[in-house]
């Protein structure tokens, strides 16, 4: 297949690119290398991808004209678009909600309309478990998602509704994937596990919001990448959770990382953030049924790989700005 993948230098996009290229697909990767976090991470991922046959274009999906030009110059047309380009993170979206809506909503609209004009039959959207807000657990895809708790969640829900409209109006085959707390090597530095590893390894205080009993459905990045590639199959219109179906307390994660790094964590406690939810938990029965997918990587193995990556890249990873 000829696939356009946006956000190819991002944490999940990088891994999806690897899986697509290794499977023999022709991939055009798009990324604007936005400095929302340390660009060295994005350049490191791109360097890894350039060991394969990636066609890279530095384009911002907010730029409608640039997107239209990219599609117009693609002959024949792409077989599918996977939109992983996004401004991510719940707390940061409260600081700059406009930036989140410009990328996550207008950017998605630009891509969907380019698919309409060019006749691209398949569109895969990366969404988020955050759209569920405070819904009853486990989260399943037919639950109401009309009470977001952050601008980030609202932007992702808005992108989902755009996909629905373009499916109904123009027949584009759409799969929306709701990712649950993805972790692994070379992850975003604003994410909890990256921060915990860095803080423990370097003997810095570990900032813990709440008492550590809050739970997350941690999902290893390669498992998510496999599910994203599987979502290229025709589905009509489908919304699918990709998670581990095994919520784990933050305090348990810290204990596991202490053991792997052979260092005790110095905890600096702060109040729970108002945008945070007490727990996430994915019902993945639909992923099993529609995609034939389920996670394969144990939490122990996934954390081991994340720690190993950090220690291997420590000479520069230790200086990465973790943000606020």
DSSP bridge partners of 173: 122
**Cα–Cα distance measured from residue 83 to residue 248, given in angstroms and rounded to the nearest whole number:** 28
User: Which residue carries 């190993």 as its tokens?
Assistant: 308
CB atoms within 10 A of CB 98: 9
User: Which residue carries 């907010």 as its tokens?
Assistant: 62
**Cα–Cα distance measured from residue 60 to residue 40, given in angstroms and rounded to the nearest whole number:** 18
**Cα–Cα distance measured from residue 147 to residue 131, given in angstroms and rounded to the nearest whole number:** 8
How many residues comprise the chain?
Answer: 324
Residue among 78, 152, 166, 183 flagged as catalytic? 152
- Assess contact for 256 and 196: CB atoms under 8 A: no
Q: Is 179 strand, coil or helix?
A: strand
> Annotated catalytic, 152?
yes
- Assess contact for 34 and 7: CB atoms under 8 A: no
Backbone torsions φ then ψ of 39, nearest 5 degrees: -70, -20
Residues acting as catalytic residues: 152
């Amino acid at each position: 297949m000829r696939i356009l993948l946006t956000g190819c230098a991002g944490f999940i996009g990088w891994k999806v690119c690897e899986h697509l290229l290794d499977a023999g697909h022709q991939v055009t990767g798009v990324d604007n290398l936005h400095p929302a976090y340390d660009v060295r991470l994005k350049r490191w991922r791109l360097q890894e991808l350039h060991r394969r046959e990636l066609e890279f274009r530095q384009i911002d999906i907010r730029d409608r004209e640039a997107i239209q030009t990219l599609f117009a110059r693609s002959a024949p047309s792409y077989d599918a678009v996977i939109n992983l380009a996004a401004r991510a993170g719940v707390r940061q979206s409260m600081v700059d909600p406009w930036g989140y809506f410009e990328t996550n909503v207008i950017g998605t609209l630009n891509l969907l309309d380019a698919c309409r004009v060019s006749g691209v039959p398949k569109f895969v959207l990366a969404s988020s478990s955050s759209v569920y807000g405070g819904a009853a657990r486990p989260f399943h895809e037919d639950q109401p998602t009309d009470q977001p708790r952050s601008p980030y969640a609202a932007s992702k829900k808005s992108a989902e509704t755009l996909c629905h409209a373009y499916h109904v109006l123009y027949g584009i085959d759409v799969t929306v994937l709701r990712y649950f707390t993805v972790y692994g090597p070379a992850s975003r530095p604003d994410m909890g596990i990256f921060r915990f590893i860095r803080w423990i390894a370097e003997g810095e205080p570990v900032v813990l919001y709440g008492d550590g009993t809050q739970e997350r459905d941690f999902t290893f990045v390669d498992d998510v990448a496999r599910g994203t590639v599987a979502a290229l199959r025709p589905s009509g219109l489908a919304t699918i959770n990709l998670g581990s179906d095994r919520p784990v307390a933050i305090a348990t994660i810290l204990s596991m990382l202490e053991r792997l790094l052979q260092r005790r964590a110095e905890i600096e406690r702060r109040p729970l953030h108002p945008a945070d939810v007490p727990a996430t938990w994915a019902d993945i029965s639909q992923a099993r049924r529609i995609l034939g997918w389920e996670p394969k990587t144990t939490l122990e193995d996934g954390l081991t790989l994340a720690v190993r990556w950090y220690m291997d890249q420590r000479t520069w990873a230790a200086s990465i700005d973790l943000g606020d």
